[in-house]
Amino acid sequence: MADYPKDLKYTKDHEWAKVEGDLVRVGITAYAVEQLGDVTLVDLPKVGSKLDNHARFGDIESVKTVSELFAPIAGEVVEVNPKLEANPEAVNESPYDSGWMVVIRAANPADLASLMDAAAYEAYLGSLDH
């Protein structure tokens, strides 16, 4: 099983969230990358877009499938990873570093309490195998 960074929060949709003050950096987990295969396109919202908690905020296409991306928290998109348009494979190469998707200014930081820590996410993944 992949190593899931302990300083991140996780969703059942296989997104990760890194709290940076009142900002939350979002990407997809190594598990999601493994399921997708080689990423060929990442479609993300524009800076300034308002997102609801758990709402679809974009799509990620791979050689296998197209998957929706869901916001782990409500808020406003303040940054979009500029590298992904020309280099979507950064998601495969480094999902927790250069492969991040968006940064959201949290409307309600307390929403983060509903996300899983690394141990809970790993247990959740274990339940999917059965």
* 46, pLDDT greater than 80: yes
Is residue 42 classed exposed, middle or buried when 0-12, 13-18 and 19+ CB atoms within 10 A define those classes? Answer: buried
Q: What is the extent of the structural domain holding 16?
A: 9-128
Give the confidence band of 2 by pLDDT, cuts at 50, 70, 90.
Answer: low
Does residue 1 sit within a domain?
no
Closest CA to 5 of 38, 21, 27, 35: 27
Does residue 26 sit within a domain?
yes
- Model pTM above 0.75: yes
Can you give the CATH number for the domain in which 19 is found? 2.40.50.100
Does residue 4 sit within a domain?
no
Number of folded domains that form the chain: 1
Instruction: Specify whether the CB–CB gap between 74 and 43 falls below 8 A.
Output: no
Does residue 69 sit within a domain?
yes
Residue 109 has a pLDDT of 87
- At residue 43, the 3 state secondary structure works out as strand
Give the confidence band of 77 by pLDDT, cuts at 50, 70, 90.
Answer: very high
Does residue 94 sit within a domain?
yes
Does residue 88 sit within a domain?
yes
Does residue 31 sit within a domain?
yes
Does residue 14 sit within a domain?
yes
Residue 129 has a pLDDT of 72
Pairing status of strand 75-80 against strand 102-106: antiparallel
